[in-house]
Structure formats: structure tokens, C-alpha cells
Amino acid sequence: MAWQTPVQGLTSKHEQRSETLESKAEEPVEAAFMGRHRKLVRRTALVSVLTLLSRILGFVREVLAATLFGDKSGIFDAFITAWRVPNLFRRFLGEGALSTALQTKLTGVDCDRGNAAGRQLLWATLRLVFAILLLLCGLVMFAAANLPDTFPGTDWAWLGADPAAVRELCVRLMPFVLAICLSALIGGALQVRGHFSTPALAPVALNLCWIASLCYVGWSFGWATDVDPEIIGSPEEKARQLEMTRVLSWGVLLAGLVQLAIQIPAMARFGLLGSSPQKGEFAGGEGLSKLEARSEARRVFARSAPLALGAAVYQVNVLMDGLMAESLLTDGGPSVHYFANRIQQFPLALIAVAATSAVFPALQALGHRGQKAELRQLHDRTQLGVAFLALPATAGLLVLAGPIAGVLFQHGAFEESGVQRMGLGLAALALALLPAGAVGLTSRTYYALGDFRTPVRISVAMLIANAALNVAFVRGGGMDVEGLALATVITSWGNLLLLLPGLKRLGLPSAESGWGGRLVRSTVGALVCGLMAWGCYEVSSGGAQSGVRAAWSLCLAIAAGGGGFVLWAVLSGAPEWIHLKERMQARADRRRAN
């Protein structure tokens, strides 16, 4: 098995072979099941590349939106606020809670009962979730259409300056949940079957559809609004922008359907579609009856209820910030805050989320088999690898926040004032990169061992703290977008520091010695990266924050920071760098041998 301690040296080669053949004969399901989760480095690289492509297209999408609506559009603020509602349910019922619960159950069913049983479980879960989503969408759309302008019993304008637009756009966008949640569940099932490329490619298709919709809106309504504040706030301009967001809403719904449809061929290839055995399916197991499949699907849904907050704690904090931004900040603040988060999500998704997605099935498999020492080793090794890349990304994002915001977004109707607001928020959010990524991996380790309550309790406490800090920083401290970002940073670190000690209480052994020194070494490398990037930009840009010169200077600064970090890693003999180099050398040797 891929994660068992080798003991074959105690027997002869003939006895080893006999034992192996006997084991395969007795456990064909288990052998094939464990074989899915090898080649984690290659899998992580594949997911990272596809995630990078998706994030680049996501940047194009946001730049187009900023160009169209600018940094002072109350209507686009309303669109962003309304978009957060279906996005929340996507995190809870798709990419976060329900998908994780399904992966947990599907891992066990595939191992114990065979692929046919796993396929039956998936379809029973999809049918149950589709029915629940239909009811949920209807209830949320009805509730959104009838929301009052102020929070009941208070004079708090919780829907911002354009409550009618928030209500309408929320109703229009809510059906997106149907397609995106089903797509996320199917993607999670494909990952359990050892297939990662199509689930990672689906967001690429979604972003392409969204970009096409924005291009159509720009072609139909014009690419830039008049930046005169009086024109932007006029009823005529608001009506025009509202019509633009209505068209964009249809494009978002189409994008969700495309993301769902693109995964159907992969379902057929990996035994999740139809009744006959497919590629990637192994023999064994007696399957599930219809009654058993429905019962297991209900268990999956029930398990996802406590998992909902824990699996998406960082996204919930971001949602909280966004909803409070609509009521606490002036026009354009919610949009600027959203764009800053999108930039911060780029390295987070490329490094931490990709690594967590790639190793989670292996964590699940180790937890299912009770191999706690190997589980702790995989968790710690992945955390150190993520920190090795996340720390220099944090340093670079911190020192280059202003130029990044200016180069990417100061176009069309998006002015320098919006860039300044975004730069401050982005610099603060950079400090949340490491804890946000680490929380996701540590929470998944809890789930692999069957503990769904602890991450939920901690996440609820952090959500309350985040809301209180938002009000304190913005209303009490007079801060802007950076106040919401700072609250996210504090609660992200608090979440991580509360989660880590609990791993030992779950029965995992202590972390291996030397991990603290490796973190210090990575931190020093991050400082080198940040200093090199900052110095290069200051020398080459001449103080410019946007335009062609700033863009070239930004590219040089990123290259200088990355080069400085690599040079430091080589000279210091960083273990993560040595491990990566050995992996690359081994892969090159295999290619030459073939």
C-alpha cells in the first residue's frame, strides 16, 4: 500500500510475492482504491496549472467588470452584494460542506462496497440535493424579493444605498446555485475516483462564459461610463447600469450550466454515469439497494449540516465582510473590497487550495484506515510545503499591493481613488494568506478523522468576532476597506491558532522536530523576496502606479522577488527546495528510461 510501513525485508522475495498476490486476491477493492491516490506531487502540479489558468481568466473577468462599472458604482455594488448570496450557498452546498461530506462517505463506500455502490450513492445524493436546492432557491428568491430596506426593528440600511437593485439581482442570480452545486458534487466525486483535471478545468469554462457575457455587455452598452460623480449618481445612469447587470446575470446562469455540462464525459469515463463498468472502475462489492442509497444520501446531507461553517470558514468571513461593506462603506467600497479579495485569492487558490484539494482524498483514505502517524506526516509535510510558497507570496503582495491594483484595474471608469482604496485593503489581506490556507488543510484533517464539531465551534466564534471587528474598525476607527480586511486577518489567524492544538487530542502524534526551524527559514526567504521586489520596483518605476511603465516595473519586481527567493532557497539548502529538485530529477530519469 502507498502509505504502509514496509516490512517485506523480513521475508524472502518469493514469500513477498506470495503475500502480495494473496492480498490482491483477498482485497481487490482496497488495492485499487488505495492505488488511486499515488503521484500526489504530479496531481498537485496539474491542479495548480489549471487553477492558474482559471485565476488568470478570473482576473480578466474582474478587470473587464471594473472597466465597465468603475470604482463608484452603487449598482455594481448591489450586483456584488447579490452575487454573494448564491456564492455562499455554493460554498456550503457545493464546493464546501456537502462536497466534503460526499467525498467522506464516497471514499468509504468505494473502499468497502465497490465502485458500483459509490455510483449509486452519488446519484442518490444528486437527486436529493437537486430537490432541496429547488425548494431552497424558491424560498430565498421569495425572501430576497420582500426584504425591507432597513434591518427589522432598526434604522440600519443593511442593503445599502440601492436596496431595490440588491433585491432584484439576488432573485436573478439565485438559480445559479442549482448548476454550480451539482457541478461541485460531481467534481468532488471525480476527485475521489482519482480524476482531477476536469473538475479543475470546469472553473476555466465558467470564467470564459462570464468574460463573453461582459464583452457582450460592453459591446451593447459601451465600455466606460462617464466618471463625473454627478452623472454616475443620476437616475438615468443608474437605470442604464441596472440593465447592464440584468444582462450579466443571464450570462452568469449560462456559465453555471456550462460548468456542469463539461463534467458529464468524465463521469462516463470514471464509472459515475450509466450502469456498466467504465474506465477506472474496479471489481468487487455488492452495490447498494435503492433504499440503502437513499439512506446513505440522507446521511451525507445530514453530515454536511455541521460541516457547513467549518469547511468554508474563510469564505464565510469574506461573505460577512462583503455584506457589511454594502452598509458600512460609501459607493464603490463593496466593489473595491471584492476586487481586492479576488487578487488575494489568486495565490491562495494556486498554492493552498490546490494542495488541499489534491491531498484531501489521501487524508480521507488514511483516516478511514486509521493510519494516524501517516496522516500527521502528510498534514505537516503539506503545511510546510504550502508555507514555503505562501510566505514569499505574502511578502510580495504586501509590498506591491498598490502597483498591482493600479496596473490591473486603473482603466476605463476605474479611477486612481479606487486604486488607493484597493491597495490598502490588499496589503492587509496579504497577511491572511498563510492562515487562510493552513485553516483549510487543518480543518480537512479533522474531517478525515470524523471530527466535524470542533471546526464548527471555532468558526462560529470567529464569525462573531469578525462582525464585531468590522464595526469597530470602520465605524469606531474611521477605517475604509482596509478595516474589513484587517478583521479578516485577525480572525483567520485566531482560527488557525485554535485549531492546531486539537490535532493531538484527535490521537495524532506530535509534529516532527525541526518544523519550527523550517518555518523560520521560509520566513527569512520571504523577507528576501519582499525586499528584492520592493527595491526593484522603486528603482524602475519612477513612482508610477499605473500605465505601461508601471506594468513593466511590476513584472520586473515580481521576477526579482521570485529570483531572490529561489537563490536564497538554493544557497540555504531549504528542504522543500531539495525535495522539489529530487522529484523533478526522478521524473526526468523516468522519462529518459522510457
pLDDT the model gives residue 22: 37
CB 54 within 8 A of CB 207: yes
Residue range 153-179: mean pLDDT, rounded? 88
DSSP 34-102: HHTT--HHHHHHHHHHHHHHHHHHHHHHHHHHHHHH-SS-HHHHHHHHHHHHHHHHHIIIIITHHHHHH
Lowest mean pLDDT among 1-5, 77-81, 375-379, 583-587: 1-5
Assess whether pLDDT exceeds 60 at residue 448: yes
| pLDDT surpassing 50 at residue 454 | yes
For residue range 15-69, list pLDDT tens digits in order: 343 334 334 334 444 444 444 555 555 666 677 687 778 878 988 999 999 989 9
- Residue 149's pLDDT is 85
Task: Take residue 580 and report the three cell numbers written for it.
Answer: 522539489
Please state the length of the chain: 594
Helix/strand number for the chain, H first, E second: 26, 0
pLDDT (average), residues 108-113: 79
Q: What is the mean pLDDT of residues 291-307?
A: 78
Q: Is residue 171 scored above 90 in pLDDT?
A: yes
Pairwise CA distance, residues 136 & 191, whole Å: 27
452 DSSP 8-state letter:
-
What is the average pLDDT value for the chain, to the nearest integer?
Answer: 82
pLDDT above 80 for 298: yes
Averaged pLDDT, 282-302 = 73
Write out the DSSP string of 333-394: HHHHHHHHHHHHHHHIIIIIIHHHHHHHHHHHHHHHHT-HHHHHHHHHHHHHHHHHHHHHHH
Give the Cα separation of 454 and 211 in Å (integer). Answer: 40
pLDDT at 580: 73
Q: Which helix (H) or strand (E) holds 102?
A: helix 97-113
pLDDT of residue 295: 86
**Res 84 pLDDT > 60:** yes
- Which is nearest to 492 in space by CA: 520, 461, 517, 532? 461
Give the C-alpha separation, 318 to 322, whole Å. 6
Q: Is the pLDDT of residue 539 over 70?
A: yes
Given a contact cutoff of 8 angstroms between Cβ atoms, the answer to whether 217 and 244 are in contact is yes
> Which of the pair, 236 or 336, is modelled with greater confidence?
336
Give the pLDDT score at 174.
Answer: 94
pLDDT per residue over 213-257, tens digit each? 999 999 998 876 545 556 666 788 889 999 999 999 999 999 999
**Whether the predicted pLDDT of 442 surpasses 80:** yes
Nearest to 398 by CA among 531, 495, 559: 531
**C-alpha Rg value of the chain to the nearest Å:** 25
Distance CA 183, CA 126 (A): 10
Q: Is the pLDDT of residue 398 over 90?
A: yes
**Which of 176-180, 357-361, 569-573 shows the lowest mean pLDDT across its residues?**
357-361
Are 389 and 372 in contact by the 8 Å Cβ rule? The answer is no
pLDDT in tens, 549-587: 999 999 999 999 999 999 998 888 888 788 777 766 776
Q: What are phi and psi of 312, to 5 degrees?
A: -130, 35
- The per-residue b/e assignment along 456-480, b for 16 or more CB within 10 angstroms, e otherwise, is bebbeebbebbbebbeebbeeeebb
| Mean predicted confidence (pLDDT) in 97-118 | 80
Q: Grid coordinates standing for 15? A: 514469500
Q: Which is it for the CA torsion 497, 503, 509, 511, positive or negative?
A: negative
Q: For position 5, what pLDDT does the model report?
A: 31
pLDDT of residue 26: 40
- Predicted pLDDT at 176: 93
9-13, 105-109, 396-400, 517-521, range with the lowest pLDDT: 9-13
pLDDT value of residue 184: 87
pLDDT for residue 70: 87
Distance CA 331, CA 227 (A): 13
- Sequence-ordered strand ranges (E) for 70-131: none
Q: Report residue 302's pLDDT band, with 50, 70 and 90 as the boundaries.
A: confident
